[in-house]
Amino acid sequence: MITLNRTFQIARRTLAFSAVLGLGIAAAHAQQAVAPAVTAQPALNFQVPVDSANASFSSSAASNDVANSEVADTKAPIDFLTGTGTQPPPRGRYNRPRYRGGNTNADGSNKYGFLVGAGFTSPVGTDSNYLKTSWGFQIGGGRNWSQHFGVLAQFDWDNFGFTGQTISNQAYLYFDDPGNTQYGLDGNSHIWSLTLNPTYTFYSGEGLGAYIVGGGGFYHKEASFFVPEAVTECDEFGDCFEEAANQPVQNYSSNSPGVSGGFGLTHKMSQFSNGRLYGEVRIVHTFNNYRPGITAASSPTDIENYTGWNYFPQNSQETTYFPVKFGLRF
């Protein structure tokens, strides 16, 4: 049974719901009235630059673009689609790089060169009448101006022996013993030199090389004669014994300028090495001033009456010989 009170409650609730619904509809209409109209965005065209006048954003960069629109319009557009004109230039071709240091010339050769070698020396001409072939060695170093030309300072030691006839002649002069049977005389000769040697390499391959060399400088020539003698030696415990030792009889020396010239061959030890094995032959001539003296060819009277000291004038005469050396250049 519906009473009057129940009817009143239903009417009140219906009126409240209608009021709420009406307020919602009014609010929706009000929001639509103040919302900005949405404009359609232009489609992006990557082939045509964007017109800065229609830009829909606001920034300092956009303002600068608009201010310089006349300059921007004159530039060609970047075509991201076809890639025409955007490819990088072709790669250049370059030669093999050369690494230069403080010790390297412009052509890649070393600025400084060195050599060490040894071999034999052989006298020629009249010198072979009293000198015999013997050994020698050389060391040097200097400046290379290019792979073809350099100048080296060298020290050479060239040793010689004496012929048997020379030893017999000297024994006759010293001891009146032409057979050299009593005193056992012996001797040797040597020439040491300090020279400058320009060198020109006219061929330098991966393996074989060839060069010519000349030189000049100071030459010191010396001859020594000696005899073996028994010498008594005692050790720290007081034990004494005799041994043979060479006792000098007479020495001769002579200084002079000299020149040399020759050629050599080189062989590179490996592809990555600057060192080369070399073989070299030269001809050397010294300009000694001859000092007269007594020889075995002098008359017995001259020998007997001679009061000087020069019993070997051959040492002061000009000398010519061939030094042949093998060694390493680096």
Which tokens hold the place of 28? 């929706």
Mean per-residue pLDDT, 67-96: 56
Q: Beta partners for 280?
A: 264, 325
Measured CA to CA, the distance from residue 275 to residue 104 in angstroms comes to 15
pLDDT of residue 57: 47
* pLDDT band of 205, cuts 50, 70, 90: confident
Task: Give burial (CB, 10 Å; 0-12/13-18/19+) of 239.
Answer: exposed
Q: What kind and span of H or E run contains 25?
A: helix 4-34
Q: 234-247, pLDDT tens digit by residue?
A: 888 878 877 778 89
Q: 87-138, pLDDT tens digit by residue?
A: 666 665 655 555 556 788 888 888 999 999 999 999 999 999 999 999 999 9
| Whole-number average pLDDT of the chain | 82
214 and 231 in contact (C-beta within 8 Å)? no
Q: 57-70, pLDDT tens digit by residue?
A: 444 444 444 445 45
pLDDT of residue 62: 45
Task: HSE, CB side, 13 Å, CA atoms: give it for residue 323.
Answer: 27
Q: 145-182, pLDDT tens digit by residue?
A: 999 999 999 999 999 999 999 999 999 999 999 889 88
Measured CA to CA, the distance from residue 3 to residue 205 in angstroms comes to 131
Q: 269-306, pLDDT tens digit by residue?
A: 887 778 899 999 999 999 999 999 999 999 999 999 99
Which of 322, 276, 319, 320 is closest to 117 using CA atoms? 276
More confident residue, 189 or 49: 189
Q: For residue 310, what is the DSSP state?
A: -
Mean per-residue pLDDT, 308-317: 96
* pLDDT band of 8, cuts 50, 70, 90: low
Domains and CATH numbers, the chain: 112-329 (2.40.160.20)
* Percentage of the chain lying above the pLDDT 90 cut: 55
pLDDT of residue 239: 83
Which pTM was predicted? 0.67
Q: Beta partners for 216?
A: 196, 259
Which tokens hold the place of 290? 């001859």
Mean per-residue pLDDT, 6-25: 64
Of the ranges 4-8, 10-14, 183-187, which is most confident? 183-187
